[in-house]
């Protein structure tokens, strides 16, 4: 007995303490099963590379769910088929670890088809051992994606039919069409010669990972005498004479020679650096612009801004909100998103308040920015009595129908054109509103615009547009006609 223990590879536990029952020296696998041999070949290769301490072995669902009984390394048991995704999370977190994904045919080629495809396609630097025995062993001999045509299983009692279940999936060939995989080989656990080939392939699969070369998968045709309902000797023979005839043995793809090892740098960041990256310490300390005295009617406005997509509706709202923030107000900005946007109209809700804000939703509106006619049509009636409507009179050729609200007609698009950019219409409107409501200082708005606008070449145009809007209101340059002028400048 002692001799047996000594013959175990170092990367196996000496005693299988996690295994239930009294026998903690032999595996739980059936006589003649391929898993035991494959485990041993892997453990020996781990010994050879001296990677036991830094290896993480991912057990699948299936008979080898208990692989963690045996491997003396970090062990993770993964959901059915998901081992390549779990392995991805492990390897990305621990680039220096050696991550082994051990999977059966149902696990890898059936329920986990997507996970293996994409892990292979990303070229994850992991090693996958794919045990193909053409059957679901643990659940009781049901059909696997690799079950042969005509093969009888408990779910193909009349034999697998191409018409009903399709063809057996050749995983190595399938994955070989991808650019990323470095090494794909199919081996078989049959006679000594084939086992030696399997040993070599398993070793190479791990070596590739140790050297940082990328994704390797070794498909191992393996006997399942219990699942197939035959004696171990017959099972081995069936692998050799039938299974290996359907699944071609040998190297399917090998880019090992030209694979360039990946160098992963892990940099540490200080708290200050992290805060800075997130934008938290831009100016060191917080500062606020003064809140001007605001007429009662203009205090705590609930604002709706509406217009065409492309008129900078959402951005105008953000500038309003951010200027409010920099003046010490509470503020919220809520965009309309989704299907409404796709109709070509956009609107957003802005609330500016001296108090903590409840609902960010603006229904009864204090201030409406109507940037185009459909917006005025849609929202005019939502404005409260004595509320304010800013009308972009360049695009809206009608008067506001209400006579119980204040209206400011601003030829915003024309004024924007005067400064050379139609897109600055929103800034003209903002200038008009700032001048009218005096809710925040002009410096504050300009500071916010500077802070927010990403393309600095627009800063000057924006500032000019803002001033145009402001001056338009301050100079009382209202368009002729509008009977509401008296209301506006009372």
Partner 1 sequence: MKLFLKGNEAVISGAILAGCKAYYGYPITPASEIAETAAKYFPLVGGTFLQAESEIGAINMCYGAASTGQRVMTASSGPGLSLKQEGISYAAGSELPIVIVDIMRGGPGLGNIAPEQSDYNQMVKGGGHGNYKLIVLAPNCVQEMCDLAILAFELADKYRNPVAILTDGFIGQMMEPVELPKPVENIPAKNWKVGGDAETKKNLISSIYLDFDELEEHNIKLQTKYMKVEESEVRFEEIHTEDAEIILIGYGIVARILQSVIEEARAEGIKAGLLRPISLFPFPKKKINQLANKAKLFFVCEMSNGQMVDDVRLALNGKKPVKFYGRMGGVVPTTQEILNKLRVLDASLQNEDSFADQLTDSYLKI
Residue 20 in the binding site for partner 1 (CB under 8 A): yes
- Helix, strand, coil distribution of the chain in percent, nearest 5: 40, 20, 40
Tell the smallest beta-carbon distance from residue 83 to partner 1 (Å): 8
| Whole-angstrom distance, CA of residue 346 vs CA of residue 343 | 8
Residue 303 in the binding site for partner 1 (CB under 8 A): no
| Whole-angstrom distance, CA of residue 53 vs CA of residue 100 | 13
Fill in the per-residue mask, 161 to 180: x = in contact with partner 1 (CB under 8 A), - = not in contact.
--------------------
| Whole-angstrom distance, CA of residue 422 vs CA of residue 345 | 17
Tell the smallest beta-carbon distance from residue 434 to partner 1 (Å): 17
Residue 457 in the binding site for partner 1 (CB under 8 A): no
DSSP state of 240: I
Residue 14 in the binding site for partner 1 (CB under 8 A): no
| Whole-angstrom distance, CA of residue 196 vs CA of residue 377 | 81
The binder of partner 1 chosen from 162, 196, 233, 277 (CB under 8 A): 277
- Beta-carbon neighbour count of residue 193 at 10 Å? 9
Note whether 104 and 131 are within 8 A (CB): yes
Fill in the per-residue mask, 111 to 140: x = in contact with partner 1 (CB under 8 A), - = not in contact.
---xx-xx----------------------
Of 452, 469, 479, 347, give the one whose Cα is nearest residue 413: 469
463: tokens are: 């500032």
Distance, CA of 336 to chain centre: 24
Residue 194 in the binding site for partner 1 (CB under 8 A): no
Residue 481 in the binding site for partner 1 (CB under 8 A): no
Fill in the per-residue mask, 27 to 66: x = in contact with partner 1 (CB under 8 A), - = not in contact.
-------------------------xxxxx-xx-----x-
Geometric angle at alpha carbon 140, from 152 and 32, rounded to 5°: 85
Identity of the residue, 82 or 436, whose beta carbon is nearer to partner 1 in the bound complex: 82
The binder of partner 1 chosen from 64, 88, 127, 209 (CB under 8 A): 88
Residue 192 in the binding site for partner 1 (CB under 8 A): no
Burial of 382 (0-12, 13-18, 19+ CB in 10 A): middle
Of the candidate spans 110-118, 144-152, 413-421, 429-437, the one that interacts with partner 1 by CB under 8 A turns out to be 110-118
Residue 385 in the binding site for partner 1 (CB under 8 A): no
Tell the smallest beta-carbon distance from residue 424 to partner 1 (Å): 21
Indicate the angle between helix axes 313-326 and 442-452, nearest 10 degrees: 120
Footprint of partner 1 on 420-439 (CB under 8 A): none
The binder of partner 1 chosen from 10, 23, 31, 92 (CB under 8 A): 92
Footprint of partner 1 on 307-336 (CB under 8 A): 318, 321-322, 325, 330-335
Identity of the residue, 196 or 264, whose beta carbon is nearer to partner 1 in the bound complex: 264
The binder of partner 1 chosen from 27, 64, 97, 306 (CB under 8 A): 97
DSSP string, 95-134: TTSEEEEEEEHIIIIIITHHHHHHHHHHT-S-EEEEEE-S
Residue 281 in the binding site for partner 1 (CB under 8 A): yes
Identity of the residue, 111 or 149, whose beta carbon is nearer to partner 1 in the bound complex: 111
């Amino acid at each position: 007995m002692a001799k047996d223990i000594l013959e175990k590879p170092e990367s196996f536990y000496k005693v299988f303490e996690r295994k239930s029952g009294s026998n903690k020296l032999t595996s739980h696998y059936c006589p003649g099963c391929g898993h035991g041999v494959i485990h041993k070949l892997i453990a020996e290769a781990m010994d050879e590379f001296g990677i036991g301490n830094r290896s993480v072995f991912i057990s699948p669902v299936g008979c080898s769910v208990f692989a963690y009984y045996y491997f003396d390394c970090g062990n993770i048991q993964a959901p059915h088929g998901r081992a390549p995704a779990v392995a991805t999370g492990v390897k990305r977190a621990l680039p220096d670890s050696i991550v082994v994904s051990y999977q059966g045919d149902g696990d890898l080629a059936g329920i986990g088809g997507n996970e293996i495809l994409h892990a292979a396609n990303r070229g994850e630097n992991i090693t996958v051992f794919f045990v193909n025995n053409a059957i679901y062993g643990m659940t009781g001999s049901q059909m696997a994606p690799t079950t042969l045509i005509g093969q009888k299983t408990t779910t193909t009692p009349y034999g697998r039919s191409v018409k009903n279940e399709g063809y057996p999936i050749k995983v190595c060939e399938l994955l070989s069409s991808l650019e990323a995989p470095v090494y794909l080989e199919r081996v078989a656990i049959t006679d000594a010669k084939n086992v030696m080939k399997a040993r070599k392939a398993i070793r190479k699969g791990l070596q590739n990972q140790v050297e940082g070369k990328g994704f390797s998968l070794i498909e191992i045709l393996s006997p399942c005498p219990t699942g197939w309902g035959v004696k171990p000797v017959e099972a081995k023979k069936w692998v050799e004479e039938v299974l290996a005839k359907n699944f071609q043995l040998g190297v399917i793809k090998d880019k090992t020679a030209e694979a360039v090892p990946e160098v992963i740098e892990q940099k540490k960041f200080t708290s200050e650096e992290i805060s800075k990256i997130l934008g938290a310490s831009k100016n060191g300390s917080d500062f606020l612009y003064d809140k001007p005295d605001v007429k009662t009617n203009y205090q705590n406005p609930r604002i709706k801004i509406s217009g065409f997509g492309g008129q900078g509706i959402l951005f105008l709202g953000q500038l309003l909100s951010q200027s409010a923030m920099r003046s010490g107000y509470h503020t919220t900005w809520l965009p309309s998103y989704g299907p409404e946007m796709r109709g070509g109209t956009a609107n957003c809700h802005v609330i500016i308040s001296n108090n903590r804000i409840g609902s960010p939703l603006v229904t009864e509106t204090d201030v409406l920015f109507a940037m185009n006619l459909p917006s005025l049509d849609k929202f005019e009636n939502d404005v409260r009595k004595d509320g304010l409507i800013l009308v972009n009179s360049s695009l809206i050729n009608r008067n506001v129908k209400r006579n119980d609200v204040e209206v400011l007609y601003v030829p915003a698009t024309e004024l924007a054109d005067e400064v050379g950019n139609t897109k600055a219409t929103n800034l003209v409107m903002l200038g008009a509103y700032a001048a009218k409501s005096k809710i925040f200082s002009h410096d504050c708005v300009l500071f916010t615009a500077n802070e927010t606008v990403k393309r600095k070449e627009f800063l000057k145009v924006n500032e000019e547009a803002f001033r145009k809007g402001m001056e338009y209101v301050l100079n009382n340059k209202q368009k002729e006609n509008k009977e509401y002028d008296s209301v506006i400048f009372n």
